[in-house]
Structure formats: structure tokens, C-alpha cells
Amino acid sequence: MTKLSVNINKLATLRNSRGGNNPNLVKSALDIEQFGADGITVHPRPDERHIRYADVYDLKKVLHTEFNIEGNPTEQKFVDLVLASKPAQVTLVPDALGQLTSNHGWNTIEHQAYLKSIIAVFKNAGIRVSIFVDPIISMVEAAATTGTDRIELYTESYAQEFAAGNREKAIAPFKAAAEVAKSLGLGLNAGHDLDRFNLGYFSKEIPWLDEVSIGHALICDAIYLGLENTVQLYKRQLTH
């Protein structure tokens, strides 16, 4: 079954807005695990506006499920953090400095040489590597020659088309990209703007999906529905 990794950046944003430690990020992550999540995702950025680098070390000490750290490997500070904390998975995202949120995948053709070299750094440390990729066949094909273990399909366009009522149009490029990834032996993750309304269809149409990483929508739902109930609702969308 597809694993659910919960991105806790928004909980860190809430904590940072008032200082102090409310909500307690470590306790929240442990609770999310207990509520049924298969993993915890964090995306520390250089300005530490949500997840702080210290949070990563604190979380690594106590988490029982898979720990996934997302970020831009062109920042040496990020590379050092990942190598020091050794998560189960690192997801490489081509963010610009100060970017509000991730909004595109790697050009795996143009950046082929760089990706090969940086992916080798993490794999040599025993860390599984996933790279952010748009649902474009040529990008998936080139990703397969970088040495990455998995790709993470960037799903914003899927979410937008799905919300507009175009389910088949929404999923088509992702199914095609996922088929190519499978044929090339790549593991498959997905994330960005997935929610409890569009997740079930995505998962059903691509049943070999390894993992989804969801933060913003899940935390927003939790305000109304409760955190434990929300984690269970999202898990249920991944069961067919």
C-alpha cells in the first residue's frame, strides 16, 4: 500500500509565529506516527522560517517511521544537515533562495551531471534519494540515468485540473510518467497540493505509487477535523 508521509512544516510555522514551543514539534510528530502515518517529512529552508535545522536533529533521535528531508542540495548547509542526520530518504528539490513553496521539478537533462554527482554523495552515505520531477516523459527518462532511487512527481497541475472537474485530463500525464518510471526501475513518490479529495483517485490510478508526502492540506483539515481523524482519513484514501 502507498505510504503516507506527513509534512510538518506548517506546524513549525505555527510554533514560530509566537516563539516558544507550542505546538511541540517533536511531540506532534510522534503523535502523527501513532495516529497511523508511515513517515514524517520536513523541508528546512536556509532562513529556517518553519523547520529549524535543530528540529531535524531532535526529530531524528525519536522518530520510529521513515524520516524524509526535502531541500535544495545546492545549499551546502542542507547537504551537511542531511549527511549528519542520515534520514531514510532525502528528496532533492530545485528551489530558489527564498522561494515560498516548491513549484517545479528538476530539468534532469540540463542538470544531469550535477544530479549524478550530488546523488552519489547521499547514496554513498546510505541514504535513499528521490528527486522532484515534473510529469514529462523526457525528464523521467533522464532521471533514471542520474542514479536516483526514486522520483517524486510534482502534482500541482494534477490538483488544479482535478479541482476544475477534469479528472481524466488531470491524471493522464502522471499515469504516463509513472508507467515510464516503473519500466525504468524507478521508485515513485508524489506530492504537492494533494488533499483528501483528489488523493484517492490519484492513488487508485497509479497503484504502484510508493509514497505521498502531504502537509498543507492535511494540517488545514486537521483544524476542523482533528489531527488523528485527519491522518486516518488520508490513510483511507490510499486503501483500495
Active site residues: 43, 70, 192
Distance (Å, whole) CA 109 – CA 18: 43
Sequence-separated (6 or more) residues with CB below 8 Å from residue 214: 4, 5, 6, 7, 191, 194, 195, 199, 234
Distance (Å, whole) CA 215 – CA 169: 25
User: The C-alpha cell of 103 is what?
Assistant: 513549484
Amino acid in position 98: G
Q: Is 177 helix (H, G, I), strand (E, B) or coil?
A: helix
Q: How many helices (H) and strands (E) does the chain have?
A: 11, 8
Half-sphere exposure of 157 (CA within 13 A, CB side): 16
Contact predicate 191/6, CB 8 Å: no
Contact predicate 36/70, CB 8 Å: no
Angle at 142 between CA 117 and CA 194, to 5 degrees: 100
